[in-house]
A and B are shown apart, each in its own frame.
Chain A
Amino acid sequence: MNTQPVTITFDGRPLTAAAGQSVGAALASQGITAWRGTRKGRKPRGLFCGIGICFDCLVTVDGEANQRACLVEVCEGMEVEGS
């Protein structure tokens, strides 16, 4: 596979990901398992269903809120923020 690296930022920190990976995969493969706190209990959440059903993995991508990390593909310079 042609895995040329791309660089994204997560909460301002640079991360290296493989082209074609999802944002969720880029985070999880760096050991980042949670990037959102629940509204009531502020409980940590990350990937769960992995296929766009559960909305647990929501992130802000390039300023656009509520994007599913399991569906969004990384691209060079992408800015990802948790909440």
Chain B
Amino acid sequence: MSSTVTVDVAVVGAGPAGLAAAVAAAEAGARVAVVDAGSQPGGQFWRHPAETVEPEPDGHGHHGWNSYLDLRARFDAAQRAGRITYLPGLQVWMAERSEDGFVLRTTAAVGSAHPLTVMAARLVLCPGGYDRQLPVPGWDLPGVMAAGGIQAFIKANGVLPGKRFVIAGTGPFLLPVAAGVAEAGGKVLAVLESSSPSAWLPHLRAASGVPEKALEGAEYAAVFARHRIPYRTRSIVTGVLGSGKAEGVRTARVDADGRVRPGTGRVYADVDVVGFGWGFTPQMELPVSLGVETRLDADGSLVGVVDERQQSSVPGLFLAGEVTGVGGATLAVLEGLAAGAAAARPDSDVPVKQPAAIARHRRFARAMHLAHPVPAAWQDWLTPDTTVCRCEEVTAGDITEARENLGARDVRSLKSFTRAGMGWCQGRVCGFAAACLGAGPGEAPDAGSLAGSAKRPLAAPVGIGELAGLDS
């Protein structure tokens, strides 16, 4: 049988938003439980080596590490005081509303520890996000990784997953990934950015509202200069080359819509790791399963609608971090603090702290999304035999055929006709791409199709025994 923890406020996630929410709720007097898939606090952004081996990480290569140390000290103090129950290594596989609030059913992220149920009057979801992917020929070869996966690998393990790297996609996140590889001793042959710096010109006012981002940019520019990393804009990887593993990439220059410019192809040989990142996909299955109102954000992602206190359309359910719009760690912390305080005292009319900072960071995030769009013509890069769904090995040709001949234009219909998104990852990796392909060439998916992709009966794979235990 599963044991139960009952609290005032449950927080899902222990990254920047989750830590902040937990600390704010506990400091406002609530009893808090924090459920996190990771084995130690920090999430993906503040991922650090195992504390069992390195008890006091120095934060090398991290941004906002002082903010982490501050939140962590307060988190640990609240734990010692018995106000926070920290439940690491657990994934929520089902979230439900109950008469008294919310019920979270969890399963072990690793191995098969005892399942645990969390009951809470209010819930703060801070599940973060993961790299958004666009398939290209060869992206399923070993050695191709998510850009964020490369960074996580370095942050957690202190070593590199290979020697010679090409990093490609769009957005400022490619810069810290490449800088991290170079600082750890890897060779970055090139960073390929599909957009162009001029895409920022209409958004300089929003950018100037967050001057620390310009400082970060200057740090990366210095690292790029020191390691002689070529930064090629309006450039993409058109295919990963290799037999049995990544061995090179073919690249090309593109126009503003992402159409390949003929005669610009070149090959980088002797590559063993290719990192791709096309922005981020917020982890929306728990908010969607609880029925929150959603919208499309400026980057085309499905996100949850929240009020100024981070409350969703579901009373008592608060969202913070990437699930309200991809905006980075500083914004996630501010949102987490607001959500945690509000969840602890839902009837209080204490105003949100730092509303101006939240607004500035949201404006910056919007500018970033508009300057680094998913290229409209990306579907043209595919060949019919390009794998789209890595789990079920569904090709671009399979999906196009289902769209053209069977009228499957949304993710759910594509799933039933082609099995795209039905495998282990449940469409987390291919969902956005499949939704684009269903919409058709040059088209972007609507919120309905993306919500269909995020709708998963189980939010994490779970054992049959745990399902059977649901009868009670």
Contact = CB atoms under 8 A, between A and B. Distances in A.
Interface of A: 1-3, 18-22, 24-25, 28-29, 33-34, 38-41, 43-56, 58, 61, 64, 66-68, 70-73
B267 interface: no
Nearest to B393: A40
Interface stretch (B142-150, B229-237, B316-324): B142-150
A57 to B, nearest CB: 10
Contact of B157 (A21, A45, A71): A21
Given A45-B142, A50-B153, A73-B110, 17 more contacts: A2-B54, A24-B153, A25-B157, A25-B161, A28-B161, A33-B272, A44-B244, A45-B140, A47-B145, A49-B146, A49-B148, A50-B150, A51-B149, A54-B425, A56-B425, A68-B109, A71-B37
Contacts of B146: 48-51, 54
A32 B205 CA distance: 48
A54 B145 CA distance: 11
* 3 tightest A-B CB contacts, nearest first: A50-B149, A20-B50, A20-B53
A3 B110 CA distance: 22
B79 to A, nearest CB: 22
A42 to B, nearest CB: 10
A50 B145 contact: yes
Nearest to B158: A1
Contacts of A55: 391, 423-425, 461
Of A22, A46, A48, A50, chain B has the most CB atoms within 10 Å of the CB of A50
A46 to B, nearest CB: 4
A18 B158 CA distance: 10
A40 B264 CA distance: 35
B396 to A, nearest CB: 15
Contacts of A64: 111-112
B410 interface: no
A67 B461 CA distance: 11
Given A41-B393, A50-B150, A52-B109, A73 B140 contact: no
A49 B149 contact: yes
Nearest to A67: B110
A54 B425 CA distance: 5
Contact of B148 (A3, A47, A50, A56): A50
A1 B54 contact: yes
A39 to B, nearest CB: 8
B253 interface: no
A50 B153 CA distance: 7
A58 B142 CA distance: 13
B373 interface: no
